[in-house]
């Protein structure tokens, strides 16, 4: 009988220990419980978010692959071209994604703004504009690449962050092209991306350089 009671006591003890193992203690401040359902959310840097899309965009610009660029352009907002650092929302030209693919063969002379210094209108075809105000340096192999960081700074007001509030701006920068100019010929190309339906698209292409 004594042996039976001992066995019974062991069975009860084992049951109690098992029950204790299933009890979850809620620690104050612990957010990783089933009740909250909050997952570990690590912030992803701007470079990690946009790096691959930016690489596609700059390589397509280098290759003059406007078909590819058109697929990367925001389907609703299109893309705004700014010849200098100041984004002029009233006068800078905006093209819809569907129109971008044929721009290189478009012989229309557009007014893209005004030349710094003289104030004369920038009247060029897109191909001419591309050579002067988009890919006037080998930006695909830029000296520096910045993500939401302005690398080239001149006298022109830089307002891209104000205009494109929910964006990632990738800047391709050369601190100088010809050593004899001691950096006075620096160049930057900024590609502005905004998210739309879980995909990042180009909404702006900004050229920047030394201005007087």
- Contact (Cβ atoms closer than 8 angstroms) between residue 203 and residue 194: yes
The answer to whether residues 60 and 69 touch, using CB atoms and an 8 Å cutoff, is: yes
User: Is 60 exceeded by the pLDDT of residue 18?
Assistant: no
Alpha-carbon distance 112 to 131, whole Å?
Answer: 13
Task: Say what the pLDDT of residue 126 is.
Answer: 98
Q: Quick one: CATH architecture of 47-209?
A: Roll (3.10)
Q: Is the dihedral of CA 98, 206, 159, 197 positive or negative?
A: positive
21-69 pLDDT, tens digit each: 433 333 333 333 333 222 232 335 667 889 999 999 999 999 999 999 9
Percent of the chain clearing pLDDT 90 (strictly above): 69
Do 74 and 66 form a contact (C-beta atoms < 8 A)?
Answer: no
Per domain, the residue ranges of the chain are 47-209
Q: Distance between CA 123 and CA 159 in Å, rounded?
A: 23
Taking the whole predicted model, whether its pTM rises above 0.85 is answered as: no
Which pLDDT belongs to residue 92? Answer: 98
């Amino acid at each position: 009988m004594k042996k039976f009671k001992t066995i019974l006591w062991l069975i009860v003890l084992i049951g109690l220990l098992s029950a204790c193992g299933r009890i979850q203690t809620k620690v104050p401040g612990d957010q990783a419980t089933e009740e909250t359902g909050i997952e570990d959310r690590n912030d992803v840097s701007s470079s990690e978010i946009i790096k691959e899309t930016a690489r596609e965009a700059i390589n397509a610009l280098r290759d003059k692959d406007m078909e590819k660029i058109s697929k990367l352009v925001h389907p609703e907002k299109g893309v705004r071209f700014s010849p200098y650092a100041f984004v002029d929302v009233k006068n800078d030209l905006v093209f819809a994604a569907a129109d971008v693919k044929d721009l290189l063969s478009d012989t229309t002379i557009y007014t893209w703004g005004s030349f710094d210094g003289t104030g004369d209108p920038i009247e060029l075809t897109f191909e001419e504009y591309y050579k002067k105000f988009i890919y006037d340096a080998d930006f695909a192999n830029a000296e520096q690449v910045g993500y939401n960081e302005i690398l080239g700074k001149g006298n022109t007001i830089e307002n891209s962050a104000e205009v494109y509030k929910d964006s990632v701006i990738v800047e391709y920068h050369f601190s100088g092209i010809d050593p004899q100019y001691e950096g006075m010929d620096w160049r930057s190309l900024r590609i502005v991306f905004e998210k739309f339906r879980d995909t990042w698209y180009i909404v702006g292409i900004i050229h920047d350089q030394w201005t007087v």
